[in-house]
Structures are given as C-alpha cells and as structure tokens.
Amino acid sequence: MSKIVVFGASGQLGQCLQHVAKERNVTDVVFLPEEQADILDAAKLQAVFAQYRPAYCINCAAYTAVDRAEDDVDLARKINRDGAENLSRVCDEFETTLIHISTDFVFAGTGNQPLIETDETEPISVYGLTKLEGEQVVAEHTSRYFILRTSWLYSEFANNFVKTMLKLGRERDELRIIWDQIGTPTYAIDLAGCIFTIIERQSQQYGVYHYSNEGVTSWYDFAKAIFELSNTSVNAVPIRTAEYPTKATRPAFSVMDKTKVKTNLQLAIPHWRDSLKECMSRI
C-alpha cells in the first residue's frame, strides 16, 4: 500500500485508525507525533511531506469543542479552516490525496429528510461554520480530495457520548437526556474502515461524502440502548433541547443519506445498534 500520513493521530479517530491499521495489516502508515503534526505550521508540513512523500494524507485534526468554539472563534477557525487550507495546499504540491473529516454540523438540521451531499449547507454554530469553511478551502486548493462528513462519533477510545453515559449511569440514579435531536451514531472504527477502503481501492471518485452508521435515533434512544447493552440500571428521562440549554445550537435533524459512499465504494455499512454492540464488547 502507498505511504499514508495521519494528522490528529492522538484523537479518537486517529486511535481508531491505528487499531484498524493493525487489524488490516496496513504497515505503510505514519501516525505523526504532535510536534510534527501542527497543521498551522506550513514549514513543518513542508518538511513532513518532503520526508515521507505520502500518496495519502488523512486529516483528523480539528477543533471539536462545540460549545467552547462559540467564545473561541479565532482558534476554532485557525484549526478548522486555516489548518485545512495549509494541508490542502501542500497535498496539491506533492500530488497527495487528502482525506479530510468533516461533520453533519455544516447543516442547519431544520428539515425531516435524510441529507445528501449536495443539500444546502447552513451551519448554526461556530464549530459548524468553521468546519464548512475548512471544506471550502480544501475544494479550492486541491482537486484530489475526499471530504467525509460524519456524525455522533464514538468508540472505545478517548472521550465520547457512550463512555460518558456508562460513567454517569454508574454514578447517578437518574439522567435527563435530549430526545428531540435526531441523527445517527457513528462507530469511529467503522469510519476508519471506510477511510482505509478508499485507500485500498485507490478510488479517484473525489468529492464530498456522507458516512455514519445505518439507521436513525435520538440521543435519548441511543442512551437507552447503551444502558440496555451494559445492564446499567438508571432512570433515563427524555427532555427537549430547550430544557438543556447549551452555548452552541445543535441541528435538530441531521440524518445523512449514505447512498453515494455505498455506491461508489461498494461499501456495506452496519446498523448503529450492531456497531454499538461491537463497541460495548470491546469496552
């Protein structure tokens, strides 16, 4: 397999990529240490690309603190937009294919139909806006790119909703969980598998793709499934978004249509409950 470099290797998806690389015996991949992997440092990026001459670059580096971004606009924009621009420019220079991770937060989430890649983007948070700006600069500065929008990412690695629910479920008798935000969880191991499939098949069907697990749920029902599978006895109470105010506004409906990624990559995507069972067995 061609040489691959990974930015943001210490984050949740980066750790999942490392796990899947071992499972698939992918050896020609470099998970860059933080001191080499600063996507805001154009000179360091030049040095990395000159050293490794990668055929593929996977960008998992992002500012993902959704609520904090509302007050930390400059840093969120630097990482999510400027960093993406730096990477796309150097990828174009070295003829490297860029696989860039984005989010369902680029949509307003005001509809009730599964979202396709060409639907109008209308972010309603700073995080969503800066991630959309990142998508735009990638498309502007290189032609060899895959932008993968994903949603509700979780795994056995790092901090995420599943691990938070398991922790709080052990500590509390009752949890109030939002039921009127609808979407699809994504097991980050499955997303990592999709990324390596793109590389293994040497696909040149560049562009924007949606990837999450199959199915539809709410945060409340997702939490209920976590508690059922872990035999956690806690009273889960459904509440509306308005009863749990946050700094950033979240999309109310962000179910994404995966037809394009399934068709172009001949990809089978597991249902979210099946992948949750797999994750829970590993936790």
What is the 3-state secondary structure of 188-230?
Answer: HHHHHHHHHHHHHCCCCCCEEEECCCECCEEHHHHHHHHHHHH
* DSSP code per residue over 236-254: EEEE-GGGS--SSPPPSB-
Catalytic residue among 56, 127, 145, 154: 127
* pLDDT value at residue 36: 81
* pLDDT classification of 1: cutoffs 50, 70, 90: low
Q: Is 244 assigned a catalytic role?
A: no
Domain ranges of the chain: 4-159+185-214+256-270
Considering only the top CATH level, what class is 4-159+185-214+256-270? alpha beta
Lowest mean pLDDT among 26-35, 68-77, 133-142, 165-174: 26-35
For the question of whether the overall pTM of this predicted structure is more than 0.85, the answer is yes
Q: Is it the case that residue 76 has pLDDT exceeding 80? A: yes
